[in-house]
Amino acid sequence: MALRKGPHLEEAAKQPSRRTHSADPAEAWRVCVGVVTGPQGVQGAVRIKSFTEIPEDVAGYGPLEDETGRRQFDLHLCGVAKGVLIARLPGIEDRDQAEALRGLRLYLPRSALPQPEAEEYYHADLIGLSAVDRDGSPVGVVTGVENYGAGDLLEIAREDGRTGLIPFKKDIADVNLDRIILDPQYLT
């Protein structure tokens, strides 16, 4: 199974539900795809940490929104520097205006992202799924997706209040419609 990097993992786990009041389920999910980390230079450019699989793609899905969905931003990439993208936003003309955007999270409707291939999932699609064991008994809820270098791990908030990690590998953690079926012997 493969994962497509979607939202920033800590973002997804700590944010309240990203559901909006849209009646269309495809439009209901909003995904955090980047964050403004600060100004770049004195002419209003900003530094953006992208949470997309290919960092430059953050500007390719259409206008981005702030957390409330009230402000839209048309991102124009200017360059790359030390793990961040350099970009211009319309109306941001100086360093002070760019500094005021520090910490601004940038969102897209889930429907703006391409559909994942078979056996491929966006992190945002996994977070919030219920986790059950092979017998269907509740185990908990997926609260995050981590990767410390040896493969993807699902973070599970267990029914008993503890948190555990389980490898996101076929036959250990299988996605089945709106839940994940776990082999609990692998849950730490």
Distance CA 103, CA 187 (A): 34
Strand residues in 61-147 grouped as ranges (E):
64-65, 72-73, 76-81, 84-88, 105-109, 120-122, 130-133, 138-147
Distance CA 110, CA 30 (A): 5
Q: What pLDDT is recorded for position 84?
A: 95
> Residue 18's closest CA among 107, 111, 141?
107
Query: pLDDT in tens for each of the 188 residues of the chain?
Result: 444 444 433 343 333 333 223 333 444 578 889 999 999 999 999 999 998 889 999 999 999 999 888 999 999 999 999 889 999 999 999 999 999 999 999 999 888 888 888 888 888 888 899 999 888 889 999 999 888 888 889 999 998 899 989 999 888 888 887 899 998 788 76
Q: What pLDDT is recorded for position 31?
A: 87
Helix (H) or strand (E) holding 12: helix 9-14
3-class SS shares of the chain: helix, strand, coil, % to 5: 15, 40, 40
Looking at the chain, the domain(s) classified CATH 2.40.30.60 span: 2-115
Q: Which fold has domain 128-186?
A: Photosynthetic Reaction Center; Chain H, domain 2 (3.90.50)
Q: What pLDDT is recorded for position 93?
A: 95
149 DSSP 8-state letter? S
User: Rounded to two decimals, what is the model's pTM?
Assistant: 0.69
Q: What pLDDT is recorded for position 172?
A: 85
Token pair 């996101």: residue: 168
Q: Which fold has domain 2-115?
A: Elongation Factor Tu (Ef-tu); domain 3 (2.40.30)
Q: What pLDDT is recorded for position 88?
A: 96
- CB distance 55 to 85 below 8 Å: yes
Strand residues in the chain grouped as ranges (E):
2-4, 30-40, 45-50, 64-65, 72-73, 76-81, 84-88, 105-109, 120-122, 130-133, 138-147, 152-158, 163-167, 173-176, 179-182
